[in-house]
A and B are shown apart, each in its own frame.
Chain A
């Protein structure tokens, strides 16, 4: 069972929930930019939440199927049709042999996931199917998919019962919650107040490695570099230029810029839905609250699996 890529879209990659235990070789986890949507899309077609899917960015692709299968689209809403009939997100759709699935532009957010029953079947590289574009590894030949690629799917059939998902996820990206970062004390009250009370705009040079922000300059009153140390997912680094960068799924494993703050893990999926030109504001929460929100999000997914 396979599909052929008729149009790849702007940047479409194979993603699962990421590659772990290799950051001490300089390989960050990568994985879905909006992991929450990937999980939900997978559960709707009866996959394990971690199965591999096609992540599309801003402009979706066009795919023809050579056999019948179940699919679901999750994440942001794109213009989407199956043989010219409009289709909607977060519903299991029965695709027949020969049908063409077409995506246009994202109507909201930035990324959608095409989840197929049984997952996309590419070789594992270091225990994951996630593409890490900057390292040129994983997924399909270590790069975004192109026209003419043939992707197999449906090998990993499993017996999980598909869920029906009728809730609306909070995809509001106008506020992104943060906790203070390892070098938050490098920035005085004035810098902090500017950081959390003014909006930032997502720059055009953003990618899966980092979301670059334009707005008020945030300047350190101590130093603009530190002894290189580990960089966590969601770390907001501030280089000497004063324009913050959110370290995203393909982030560098270590870095030498001070980190003013860190996006909370429960809001990482929202960062994955930011696109160039979007405006948003940071909202500071406590570390305890951030951890509770993360655990709540994990139980939310667990309960979806158990209750259905």
Chain B
């Protein structure tokens, strides 16, 4: 019988807090509160925070003991339901040009899903997505909420370069490339918006906990926004 939350060493200088063993909005809320609390109340021993779906991992300063941070985290999670944090959740609308040169894999996704191109666009731009966390690589948002009818396997051969702002699907996930990088996701569109602020990540357009919608735009609107 495992009871949550639980805190266990992830390495000899990291601890992980598990709030459960599924992906859910309820667990996300706890992950969000603990992450926000740790960011807003910086403590010297904690040098990095890695939020994810159902867990938050922290790395500690190498000359500190794990037990000290473990006690600290224990106190916080014991009282987590009473922690009040400033509500900075935004609803963000991301304009996207779907298809064409902006989304070279849109046809492939439509064929794979047995839908028309318009149906894919409609489905993708009508859902509401939650930014579970930013992770994996620089500025990458983990989004939840894509309808399973759009699930499409990754490319067999990843592209050497995917442009910044590419909107893509891999398996049952959808995502946005925050910066130009190599990538194996199916590109269905592109946004002119900069979702990640490299110079000042704290001021990024898209943050953990935000609610996101995609809005279909045409190329003229894209050019206008881009300028």
Partner of B48, one of A29, A229, A252, A255: A29
A27 CA / B63 CA spacing, docked (Å): 22
Chain A, residues 110-154, CB within 8 Å of chain B (1/0): the string is 000000000000000010000010111100000000000000000
Chain A, range 1-47, C-beta contacts under 8 Å to B = 20-27, 29
A231 to B50, Cβ gap below 8 A?
Answer: yes
- B49 interface contact, C-beta 8 A: yes
- Set A23, A252, A291, A295: member contacting B49, Cβ < 8 A: A23
B133 sits at the interface (CB 8 A): yes
B14 an interface residue at 8 Å Cβ cutoff? yes
> In the complex, which residues of chain A have a beta carbon less than 8 angstroms from the beta carbon of B63?
295, 298-299, 302
User: For this complex, into which size category does the number of interface residues on chain B fall?
Assistant: 35 or more
- Please pick, from A29, A132, A255, the residue contacting B136 in the complex, using a CB distance under 8 A: A255
Shortest Cβ distance from residue B210 to the other chain A in the assembled complex, whole angstroms: 14
With a cutoff of 8 Å between Cβ atoms, the chain A residues found around residue B62 in the complex are: 265, 294, 298
- Pairwise interchain contact A137-B138, C-beta atoms closer than 8 A: yes
Contact residues, A219-258 vs B (CB, 8 A)? 227-235, 252-255
Contact between chains at B59 and A253 (CB < 8 Å): no
Cα A21 to Cα B57 in complex, Å, equals: 12
Minimum distance in angstroms from A150 CB to a CB of chain B: 24
Interface mask (B134-151 → A, CB under 8 Å = 1, otherwise 0): 111111101000000000
Report yes or no: A254 in contact with B12, Cβ–Cβ below 8 A. Answer: no
Q: Which B residues touch A74, using CB under 8 A? A: none
Give, as a whole number of angstroms, the nearest-CB distance from B19 to chain A.
11
- Residue B16, interface by CB 8 Å: yes
Q: Does B55 contact A (CB under 8 A)?
A: yes
B212 CB within 8 Å of chain A: no
Taking CB atoms, residues of chain B closer than 8 Å to A92 are none
A179 located at the interface, meaning its Cβ lies under 8 Å from any Cβ of chain B in the complex? yes
Residue of B nearest to A22 (CB): B201
B53 within 8 A of A: yes
Q: 1/0 per position for B103-114, CB-CB distance to A under 8 A? A: 000000000000
Interchain CB contact (< 8 A) of B13 among A22, A25, A232, A253? A232
> What is the CB-to-nearest-CB distance from B45 to chain A, in angstroms, rounded to a whole number?
12
Complex CA distance for A5 and B75, rounded to whole angstroms:
52
Inter-subunit contact A252/B13 (CB<8 Å): no
Decide yes or no: A135 and B52 within 8 Å by CB, A25-B204, A229-B57, A295-B63 being known contacts. Answer: no
- CB atoms of B134 and A294 under 8 A apart: no
Q: Does any Cβ of A come within 8 Å of B208's Cβ? A: yes
Instruction: Convert B14-57 into 0s and 1s, putting 1 for each residue whose CB lies closer than 8 angstroms to a CB of A.
Output: 10100001110000000000010001001000011111111111
Cα–Cα, bound, A264→B12 (Å): 6
Which residues from chain A contact B13 at a C-beta distance below 8 Å? 232-233, 265, 294
Q: How far does the alpha carbon of A257 sit from the alpha carbon of B208 in the complex, in Å?
A: 22
Q: Mark A residues whose CB is within 8 Å of B.
A: 20-27, 29, 126, 132, 134-137, 179, 182, 227-235, 252-255, 262, 264-265, 287, 290-291, 293-295, 298-299, 302
